[in-house]
Structure 1
């Protein structure tokens, strides 16, 4: 394993529930699927910004890279738990193909604190 990919995280996929009006909703509670994933590199990236209109909120961008040769199952609707933080996937997950198959994934994440 490369020194760059020694981090671990938990990918959280919401369960689907239906409210009393038959609207489908994400359930991030106990019914959510939690998958531990190793061989990752997570780092702050994309800067941060502050919203001070209504309350003090800082949004920090993160970058997730999987080790070359790995292809963890991460979707744009998932969340990532890392180092006590809950990060949301923003946009599509990049899958980088090579002639022999998919080489690795990249995803932009955001932390709202």
Structure 2
């Protein structure tokens, strides 16, 4: 049985103009928009460790799912704040269609955190 009792914060970069005149993501605190998202399920998925003489890299992953009937304002370029961590969205956002009523049935996405 899945429980939708966790909350996350969606972080979306603002934009700034670089030296070449191009609009680029701006992750500075004043430029980022924040959106609280409630009642999702977050489950661990992966943990890998790669040891090298100069460092040990650890990649940890989680899977997020919204409640049935709930769409989430999250894009692949966003970041997620959860449990004191800033996590990257890994891949595209899966928006599942309700086969009976149409519209969004639920949303699923994967998150990763790399350290080391």
The answer to whether the superposition gives a TM-score over 0.5 is: yes
Instruction: Name the CA shift for 1:95/1:79 in 2 (closer, same or farther; >3 Å).
Output: same
1:93 matched to 2:93: yes
Aligned 8 A contact 2:76 2:90 in 1: yes
Cα shift at 1:110: 0.3
Pairwise CA RMSD = 1.6
Cα shift at 1:3: 7.0
Instruction: Name the CA shift for 1:19/1:37 in 2 (closer, same or farther; >3 Å).
Output: same
Structure 1 segments of 4+ aligned residues over 4 angstroms from their partners: none
Whole-Å separation in 2 of the counterparts to 1:67 and 1:87: 21
TM-score, normalised by the number of residues in structure 2: 0.87
Aligned 8 A contact 2:2 2:41 in 1: no
Whole-Å separation in 2 of the counterparts to 1:108 and 1:3: 16
Aligned 8 A contact 2:51 2:57 in 1: yes
Cα shift at 1:8: 0.4
Unpaired runs of 5+ residues, structure 1, are none
Matched residue, 1:32? 32
Matched residue, 1:51? 50
Cα shift at 1:72: 1.1
TM-score, normalised by the number of residues in structure 1: 0.90
Give the aligned length: 111
Matched residue, 2:112? 110
Flag the structure with larger Rg: 2
Whole-Å separation in 2 of the counterparts to 1:12 and 1:49: 25
Whole-Å separation in 2 of the counterparts to 1:25 and 1:59: 26
